[in-house]
Structures are given as C-alpha cells and as structure tokens.
Amino acid sequence: MAEELIQTDNKYTEDVQIVNKDGREFIIVGTAHISQQSADLVREVITNENPDTVCIELDEKRYKALSEKNRWENLNLKNLIKQKQLSTLIVNLVLSSYQKKLGEKLGVTPGTELLEAANTANELDLPIELCDRDVRITLKRAWHSMSFWQKLKLLIGGFGGIFEKQELTEEKLAELRSKDVLSEMMNELGKAMPVLKKVIIDERDTYIAEKMKRSKGEKIVSVVGAGHVNGIVKALKNEEEVDLNKIEVIPPSSPILKIIGWGIPAVIIGSIIFIGYSKGLSEAGDNALFWILANGIPSALGAILALAHPVTILASFLAAPITSLTPVIGAGYVAAFVQVFFQPPVVKEFQTVAADFSKPLMWWKNKLLKVLLVFILTGIGSVIGTYVGFFEIVSNVFN
C-alpha cells in the first residue's frame, strides 16, 4: 500500500511546500513570475537542498525564449506566416507585454525566477527537468475547447486590457507577489470560464505533477508559479499513473465548423452556376463580379487602414475573393506575407515589440506590429465581404 501523502515541517516561507510520498521528498517552490524575492528564494532552496533533480515550470520553447536574449530578432516571420501561427504570436505578445509592464515596475525581467532555477542547477551540476506541457499544445487545446461566444468574450476582454492604463501601487504589487491572491485569481478564472481554467491550469497541474513523479532521484525541487502549487499537491495524491498523451492531444475542429467552412464556398459557386443556367451568363457574371468586389474592397480597406504597402493593398484585394472560397488559408495570411516581403521589420523593432504592443500608435510605426495589424484588419474585411457576398448571391437565386 502506498505511503500516505504527508506535509513535513517547513523550514522556509509559506511559498515552499514540502511533501513526502513513497519515500521521496518533493519540495515545491511557488513563485511570482515578476518577483526578485522569488528568484532569491529559488536559489536559496536549490543551493540548500542540493536535490537529485530540479523540475521547472517550462517547456522547451519557453526555456529557449527565456534563455536567449535575442529571441525576437531570431524570429523567422515568413515561416511563422507559412505555418499559420500569427494568432499564436499575438497571444504570446499579449502575455509578454503584460508581464513586461509589471516587470518594469518591479525592476525584474518576467520569468527571472525560472531562469534562476536553471542557472543555479547548472552551476551545481544538477539535472534539470522541464516539466511543463508545450505552450503551443496548451494554447491550441484552450482555443479548441471554447465555444464561439467564449472565444469572442476572451478576445474582447483580452484586447480591451492591452491598452488599459492602470497605476500599480505598492500595495497592488505586493498582492501580485502573494500566493493566496494568485490562487484566488485562478479560482475567479474558473468561475468565469471553467473550460479555460481546466486546460490552462488544471491539466498543467496534473502534467507537472506527473513529470515530477517520473523525475529521477529521491529529492526533487520543483519551481512553479504560485497559482499551481495547490493543484500540484493535490495531483501528487493520485496513486494512478497519468497518461500524458491524453492531455497532449489537440482536439479536432468541430465538424460543424468544417461544414460551414466548405459549405459556404460550395453554396456560392453552386449559386453562381445555377444563376448562369437559369438566368444567363451575363447575370452569372454580374454575381461573380459582386463577389469579387464584396470581398476585395473590405479586405483592401483593412490594408489601407493598417497603412500597408501598396502592393499589400493590391494583394489583399486580389486574394480575398479567392481565399474566401477555401478554409485552408485566409486573406490575412496572404496580406501579412506580402507585407513582410516589402516592408520587413528591422532588428530594433523585434527588440521593442513587447513594449510597443500596449501602445496603440506603435501598431502603425513598428513594422512587426504592422504585419499583425495587416493580418487582423484584412482578415476582418474578408470575413465581412464573405457574408455580404453570400447573402446577396443566394438571395439572387430566388429573385
């Protein structure tokens, strides 16, 4: 029978939870991602305990991003667009911008304590285990798990908070360092949007705890965000081995979305063919022209609003009527790729992108942010044009 989970005497602050299970000792350091105090605590615990393994709440991508000073300069924007990852880049920039603002107030680079854990382990020649799930999997699982209205609510709330200016008092900054407040924030997130909390918090608690169990050695130090500590301790009680593959799978897109994605183009093309058969080629040509203009003009206007390169504006106009007839690629990606080709961002703009992200005017001045603006506005224009063209052409079938 497995040994019962026991909380041992804690010689550190309340931010450190020490747990014994099955003859092994798990020392969980709960941190604030923008706190120098947390970084100092991490070094103290790892140095004092000299564990067999140091687990860190990072995946390979996030570790590389933290440890490489020039991570934005090394970003291959063209490949990112080809892989249709611009939406992921936007989410990462939202998080980076928010943490950067807090970090500037505290004089600490976001993620310092996680990097401190890795550096301390390397100095002491201790094995490191990156225990978090791939951030791309987490984001995709979170996105696929939400309904359309939940996604809309999240986007509106997220972008509303980007440009919101809040004064951070010393009291608020002190609260941000508090484990209890962070845990309460997680609870509030769960009440507001349970699906999101399940993927971003609960699943990762389970994932990290299981990776801790699988780590080598009898003494494990794990460095995680304070909001994960309670969930990890709870997950450690689970006697059964967790199949990590089940929470690493990206759920397939809804079949309804696939039907809509291919159904709208099929209805449009079918309607134009039917109009040509029943009302003549001239009428079919008029409807085809309307489709081109209904899609091309709003998409081009989006590019104009973004102050895009003239060739990007033309490409947006030409691409939208075609991309709207296939769910494989959107007009926004075509426009973004052309924009990068003719007005590529310079190194300085990659370096300042996280800071510029929260400044509305910089979206037109920073060429990297302008690419994202082109992607968003041309995409919105194309969506508007698709629905205008769809209803007009379908209505002509019955007139």
Nearest of 15, 17, 58 to residue 181 by alpha carbon: 15
Q: H or E stretch including 389?
A: helix 367-398
Predicted confidence (pLDDT) per residue in 101-128, tens digit: 655 655 566 678 888 999 999 999 999 9
Indicate if the pLDDT at residue 181 is higher than 90: no
Q: What is the mean pLDDT of residues 157-179?
A: 54
One domain, residues 105 and 22: yes
pLDDT tier for residue 288 given thresholds of 50, 70 and 90: very high
Q: Indicate whether 180 belongs to any domain.
A: yes
Q: Indicate whether 327 belongs to any domain.
A: yes
The per-residue pLDDT for 186 is 53
Helix (H, G, I), strand (E, B) or coil at 221: strand
Predicted confidence (pLDDT) per residue in 299-331, tens digit: 999 999 999 999 999 999 999 999 998 887 889
One domain, residues 220 and 259: no
One domain, residues 280 and 194: no
- Show the domain range for 236: 6-247
**Residue for token pair 């194309």:** 382
Q: Indicate whether 335 belongs to any domain.
A: yes
Q: Indicate whether 346 belongs to any domain.
A: yes
Indicate if the pLDDT at residue 154 is higher than 80: no
Task: Tell me the CA distances in angstroms from 90 to 162, 299, 361, 369, 393, one per residue in order.
Answer: 11, 20, 17, 9, 35
Task: Tell me the CA distances in angstroms from 236 to 24, 132, 275, one per residue in order.
Answer: 11, 15, 65
Please, what is the average pLDDT of the chain? Answer: 81
One domain, residues 213 and 290: no
The residue out of 227, 247, 267 marking a domain boundary is: 247
One domain, residues 191 and 273: no
Indicate if the pLDDT at residue 295 is higher than 70: yes
- Structural domains of the chain, count: 2
pLDDT tier for residue 140 given thresholds of 50, 70 and 90: confident
One domain, residues 265 and 394: yes
One domain, residues 238 and 290: no
pLDDT tier for residue 142 given thresholds of 50, 70 and 90: confident
Query: Are 205 and 17 in contact, with CB atoms under 8 Å apart?
Result: no
How far apart, in whole angstroms, are the C-alpha atoms of residue 169 and residue 175?
Answer: 10
One domain, residues 183 and 212: yes
Nearest of 243, 158, 166 to residue 196 by alpha carbon: 158
Tokens representing residue 309 in the block: 């390169």
Q: Indicate whether 1 belongs to any domain.
A: no
One domain, residues 221 and 278: no
Q: Indicate whether 43 belongs to any domain.
A: yes
Q: Indicate whether 283 belongs to any domain.
A: yes
The residue out of 247, 264, 297 marking a domain boundary is: 247
The residue out of 225, 247, 269 marking a domain boundary is: 247
One domain, residues 217 and 262: no
The per-residue pLDDT for 4 is 46
One domain, residues 115 and 214: yes
One domain, residues 220 and 294: no
The per-residue pLDDT for 62 is 81
Nearest of 74, 98, 77 to residue 86 by alpha carbon: 77
**Residue for token pair 């304590």:** 113
Predicted confidence (pLDDT) per residue in 235-264, tens digit: 988 877 788 888 888 877 667 767 777 888
Lowest mean per-residue pLDDT among 22-31, 340-349, 388-397: 340-349
pLDDT tier for residue 270 given thresholds of 50, 70 and 90: very high
Indicate if the pLDDT at residue 6 is higher than 60: no
Q: Indicate whether 305 belongs to any domain.
A: yes
Indicate if the pLDDT at residue 170 is higher than 60: no
